[in-house]
Structure 1
Amino acid sequence: MKIATYNVNGINGRLPVLLKWLDQSKPDIVCLQELKAPQEKFPIEEINAAGYQAIWKGQKSWNGVAILSRGYEITEVQNSLPGNPDDVQSRYIEAIINKVVICCLYLPNGNPYPSEKFEYKLEWIKRLKKRAKQLIKMDLPAIIIGDFNIIPKEIDVYKPEKWTNDALFRKEVRKAFSDLQKQGWIDTIRLLNPDKQIFTFWDYMYKSYDRNAGIRLDHILLSPYLSSSIDHCGIDSEVRGWEKTSDHAPVWISLKK
């Protein structure tokens, strides 16, 4: 089973890119972030024509998350992160697919630091850690996947010294990512590439992609239940070089049957 995450940065404006990648890569499950489309504007007909069913939670102009499935039924669990009923931002959707809990997230950016946006990011992470701990205690096959807006370590960023006070690299959020790992969640991309500098995002400015001046923001965390199922993984970095593409690249893992 091939499971992927992709921050599409506007699903309707970049739909040709998404459909081309789906046709080439053929993932079984896809978690999308930053749809930038209201609920009724999600291109479900085109997604269905590509062979996928979907659940999604849109939001006008920004945010938005979706889960696509090819060949497996989707049972939606919830479409918001528990713990704050006043939070109306579309950043989390959870489903059960092929007996695996899929938690698709678009964690807040948090910039600038310090600011209310950064405090919101920390509050959101606190709720995520609580939900993640619940799933660990249930001893389920589960995956937390998406754009975390967290750079876990120095190896995950080009010129880390320039990011010290950026909300993506602040010590508070890096500790939070480490805390998830201490719960038992497995950073699959890093596990299979322990010493390799890997990026999943390249800014549109300064020819960042051409210079490979990137950062690793998109992560796939597996519960211990799935540790023996890990097969291989990849970053489809060439997609970042396509015309009118997202500033993120798709990230995927393959699980053994």
Structure 2
Amino acid sequence: MKIASWNVNSLNVRLPHLVEWLKDRQPDIVGLQETKLEDAKFPAAALAELGYRSVFAGQKTYNGVAILSREPARDVQVGIPGFEDEQKRVIAATVGDLRVVDLYVVNGKAVGDEKYDYKLRWLDAAHDWLAAEIARHPNLIVLGDFNIAPDDRDVHDPEAWREQILCSTPEREALRRLLALGLHDSFRLHHDQGGHYSWWDYRAAGFRRNLGLRIDLVLLSDTLRGRCTAASIDREPRTWERPSDHAPVIAELAD
């Protein structure tokens, strides 16, 4: 079984890319972030033609999340329970025996900014909710754009990014708290070395020069860790015309 996450940075723009990628890679479950579409405009019919059911929560211009799956999703949850937030950043659903949580974590803008404070509060709320989710759903997958590089291996120039947004100590500590719930970074189960990234700035030839960060993750619960046979970052869509600035990330699970 192939589980993927992709920040498409506007599904309206990137739908042809997504369609091509789904046809070629044939994932079973895909979490999307930054769809930037109101629900009435979500291309559910086009994706159904490819064999994917969709659940989604979107808004105009910003944010937006969706889960695509070959099996129908059930028990859909939008947003973090008890955390008032108009931004569409969270959707969860059960697919088969898997509980899938799709997150578009707050960027935070800059360390010390009010949006940074919101990011840390959001992560605290996500932690408490996920603690309850993992207790109810042992087969838990938490995937998405985390907007946090877990450690220096995930940063092209650690010194330049030291204590900057996406790499600051409080952000990384918040991510470690999530992992301490019993979640495992699927990529690190198979790759110890640095130099692998999932996001590259559009500016300064970031992709061509491989000036990236690994901020897109697929996290697996303890019960799924042993089923993870492979994990990868699919760089090819980042080479296409008018690409998202993110590449899809994939974890493969034995049935």
Q: TM-score category by the smaller chain?
A: over 0.9
Measured after TM superposition, the shift of residue 139 of structure 1 is 5.6
Name the residue aligned to 2:45. Answer: 45
Name the residue aligned to 2:165. Answer: 167
Measured after TM superposition, the shift of residue 195 of structure 1 is 2.0
Name the residue aligned to 2:149. Answer: 151
Measured after TM superposition, the shift of residue 205 of structure 1 is 0.7
| SS in structure 1 of the partner of residue 74 of structure 2 | strand
Name the residue aligned to 1:81. Answer: 80
Residues in 2 aligned to 1:139 and 1:239: alpha-carbon distance in whole angstroms? 33
Residues in 1 aligned to 2:66 and 2:134: alpha-carbon distance in whole angstroms? 23
Measured after TM superposition, the shift of residue 189 of structure 1 is 0.5
Name the residue aligned to 2:59. Answer: 59
Task: State the superposition RMSD in angstroms.
Answer: 1.1
Residues in 1 aligned to 2:181 and 2:103: alpha-carbon distance in whole angstroms? 18
Amino acid at match of 2:26: K
* Of 170, 175, 178, the match for 1:177: 175
Residues in 1 aligned to 2:164 and 2:81: alpha-carbon distance in whole angstroms? 27
What is the 5 A alignment of 1:97-136? 97-136=95-134
TM-score, scaled relative to structure 1: 0.96
Amino acid at match of 1:48: A
Unpaired runs of 5+ in structure 1? none
| SS in structure 2 of the partner of residue 176 of structure 1 | helix
Please say if residues 186 and 225 of structure 2, whose CA atoms lie closer than 8 Å, have aligned partners that are also in contact: no
* Of 193, 211, 214, the match for 1:213: 211
Give the paired residue count. Answer: 255
Amino acid at match of 2:200: W
Unpaired runs of 5+ in structure 2? none
Please say if residues 146 and 218 of structure 1, whose CA atoms lie closer than 8 Å, have aligned partners that are also in contact: yes
Measured after TM superposition, the shift of residue 64 of structure 1 is 0.1
For residues 124-176 of structure 1, give each alpha carbon's deviation from its aligned partner in whole angstroms, at most 9, with x where no partner exists.
10011112211333361000000000011011011111112322111001011
What is the 5 A alignment of 1:194-209? 194-209=192-207
| SS in structure 1 of the partner of residue 231 of structure 2 | strand
Residues in 1 aligned to 2:140 and 2:222: alpha-carbon distance in whole angstroms? 9
For residues 13-71 of structure 1, give each alpha carbon's deviation from its aligned partner in whole angstroms, at most 9, with x where no partner exists.
1111111111111100000000011111111121111221100001111100000012x
Name the residue aligned to 2:221. Answer: 223
| SS in structure 2 of the partner of residue 12 of structure 1 | helix
Counterpart check, 1:68 vs 2:68: yes
Residues in 2 aligned to 1:219 and 1:201: alpha-carbon distance in whole angstroms? 11
Residues in 1 aligned to 2:174 and 2:154: alpha-carbon distance in whole angstroms? 16
Residues in 2 aligned to 1:188 and 1:24: alpha-carbon distance in whole angstroms? 22
Amino acid at match of 2:223: Y
For residues 62-87 of structure 1, give each alpha carbon's deviation from its aligned partner in whole angstroms, at most 9, with x where no partner exists.
100000012x12114311112213x1
Amino acid at match of 2:72: E
